[in-house]
Chain A
Amino acid sequence: MTERDASVTEDELHAYVDGALPGDRIAAVEARLASDPEAASRVAAWRAQATSIRANWERVVEEPVPERLRLEHIARRASGTWRKIAAAAVIAFAIGAAGGWYGHEYSSFGRNDQIARAIADAAIEAHRLYINEVRHPIEVRAGEAHLLPWLSRRVGSTVRAPDLAPEGLKLMGGRLLPGTPGPTALIMYEGSGGERVTITSTRAAREGATAFHWKSAGEIGALAWVEGGVAFVVAGPADRARLDRVARRVYEAYETAANERR
């Protein structure tokens, strides 16, 4: 082994295989390989590994990109949903403000119904987006004490996580979604079958209230209502009877709390 060969490092052998070796070192590495069969067989094995790895997965890049991975699809789902909720909330807010201004609390009843439906649409989309996120569907886990105070502060009205154990649902946690005039809180529950139910709440009309509105889209159903200036949507698997019970529990939890304050 000459002195020049000895100066060839292990790292340089890797760089040689990976095409990362500076041009002025190639001759030195090749001289080393010519004089050191052990190093040569290692380098050959590494090359063969790289070739197998590429051969095994190279074809993936030629596959057509599935629809769900197309950027416009993802962008639509990521921002479109919130824009819709935001738009619905703006309308709700405006109508609520007008209602309050004129002192006709219930004059906006009809329009509030429309708002509840629009918000339900957006919430169904939100529900779909986040229940499909298996790994990070929520930002703050249920056990963290700051979950509800944090969401309440950001949404600008008290956010609750009612006990839905009687419906077989366990609280997972929540996340905050952007919106105008204010953000939306999303609280997620999980059932024993892995099914997920979400409650979203957004500051909406200052006044006014609506009945429950049922809306379903495929396998997902939602019940939406406006109460006390907040638009609520309960979304989950399209089992009307169950969602009805869930929505009533949510409604009652908020009502009870509101009555206690009075």
Chain B
Amino acid sequence: MSAVRRGLESLIPALRRFARALARDAETADDLVQDTLVRALRGEHLFHGGDLRTWTFTILLNLDRNRRRGLARRPILAVIEDVDPAGPPGTDGTGRDIERGLVLLPQEQREVLLLVTLEGLSYREAAEVQGVPIGTVMSRLSRARTALRTHLEGQRPRLRQVK
């Protein structure tokens, strides 16, 4: 097994985690990972050094963006995907809140927040994955955190009433 393949193999769990947070539906998420791996293997010969994680996350992100563009052309599916109260059964209240909050963020803000907090990418790596300057990453991150905070704090009283 080549070094690239060994590296890819070790990235699969993190790719699944990131895809799950992006797509929410486990099956869709694993489809994304599968397509990412197929692409990565197909492009293996194009990979000359560099950071394997950044490269595969970039592939996954682009596939997810394509997927969303596809969904956007089918409005009914997009609506179900985005408004459906999130999460597998048994997720606790906090989990649902954070999932719902993330869903409400613009795609690129959600991506940055997940890359940085969930996957622990540096700002520079996140910039590389998104193909934008680091300043854009910082402003997206800031907007994401502000919006999420407003959302989570605005939700709390309502949830208390429900319970």
Query: Do A and B associate with each other?
Result: yes
Residues of A that sit less than 8 Å from B by CB: 10-11, 14-15, 18, 20, 42, 45-46, 49-50, 52-58, 60-63, 65-66, 68-69, 71, 74-75, 77-79, 133-136
| Contact A56 B13, CB 8 Å, known A14-B138, A68-B30, A71-B8 | no
B64 to chain A, nearest CB (A): 10
The listed residue (A62, A65, A78, A135) touching B70 by CB distance below 8 A is A135
Which of B46-54, B74-82, B95-103 lines the interface with chain A? Answer: B95-103
Query: Which of A53, A56, A71 is B37 in contact with, Cβ under 8 Å?
Result: A71
Give B16-30 interface residues, CB cut-off 8 Å to A: 16-17, 20-21, 30
The minimal Cβ–Cβ distance linking B150 to chain A, given in whole angstroms, is: 10
Q: Does B34 contact A (CB under 8 A)?
A: yes
Query: Is there contact, CB below 8 Å, between B9 and A57?
Result: no
Decide: B66 and A71 in contact? CB cutoff 8 A: no
**How distant is the Cα of A202 from the Cα of B19 in the complex, in angstroms?**
37
Q: Is B108 an interface residue (CB 8 A)?
A: no
Interface centre among A42, A60, A61, A78 (most CB of B within 10 A): A60
- Determine how close the nearest CB of chain A comes to the CB of B121; give it in whole angstroms: 10
> B132-163 toward A: CB 8 Å interface, digit per residue (1/0)?
00000010011001001100110000000000
Among candidates B12, B14, B113, B138, residue contacting A69 with C-beta atoms closer than 8 Å: B12
- What's the Cα separation between A50 and B118 when bound, in Å? 7
Please name all residues of chain B whose beta carbon is closer than 8 Å to the beta carbon of A133 when the two chains form the complex: 35, 38
Q: Report Cα–Cα, A50/B115, bound state, in Å.
A: 11
A118 to chain B, nearest CB (A): 24
The answer for the CA separation of A72 and B142 in the assembled complex, in Å, is: 40
Whether the Cβ atoms of A74 and B117 lie closer than 8 Å is no
Residues of B within 8 A of A20 (CB): 122-123
Smallest CB–CB gap between A48 and chain B, Å?
Answer: 8
Alpha-carbon gap, A61 to B20, bound state (A):
10
The number of residues on chain B lying at the interface, defined by a beta carbon within 8 Å of a beta carbon of chain A, is 45
B residues bordering A, Cβ < 8 Å? 5, 8-9, 12-14, 16-17, 20-21, 30-31, 33-35, 37-38, 41-42, 63, 66-67, 70, 91, 94-95, 97-99, 102, 113-114, 116-118, 122-123, 138, 141-142, 145, 148-149, 152-153
CB nearest to A18 among chain B residues: B116
Tell me the complex Cα distance, A236–B67, Å. Answer: 24
Distance of B129 from chain A, by nearest CB (Å): 15
Bound Cα distance A66, B163 (Å): 37
CB<8 Å pairs between A and B, sample of 6: A46-B145, A53-B102, A54-B117, A57-B21, A68-B34, A71-B12
Least distance between B111 CB and chain A CB atoms (Å): 13
Q: Give chain B nearest CB distance to A143 CB in angstroms.
A: 15
Ranked nearest first, the 7 interchain pairs of A and B with the lowest CB-CB distance are A61-B13, A60-B17, A50-B117, A52-B98, A56-B95, A45-B149, A57-B21
Which residue on chain B has the smallest CB distance to residue A41? B149
Residues of A within 8 A of B66 (CB): 135-136
Interchain CB contact (< 8 A) of A52 among B9, B63, B95, B116 = B95
Bound state CA distance, A66 and B102, in angstroms?
Answer: 26
Contact between A69 and B30, CB atoms less than 8 A apart:
yes
> Chain B: which residue is nearest A50 at the CB level?
B117
A68 to B41, CA, bound (A): 14
A69 & B148 in contact (Cβ 8 Å cutoff)? no
Q: Which residues of B contact A135 (CB under 8 A)?
A: 35, 63, 66-67, 70
The interface residues of chain A lying within 8 Å CB-to-CB of B67 are 135
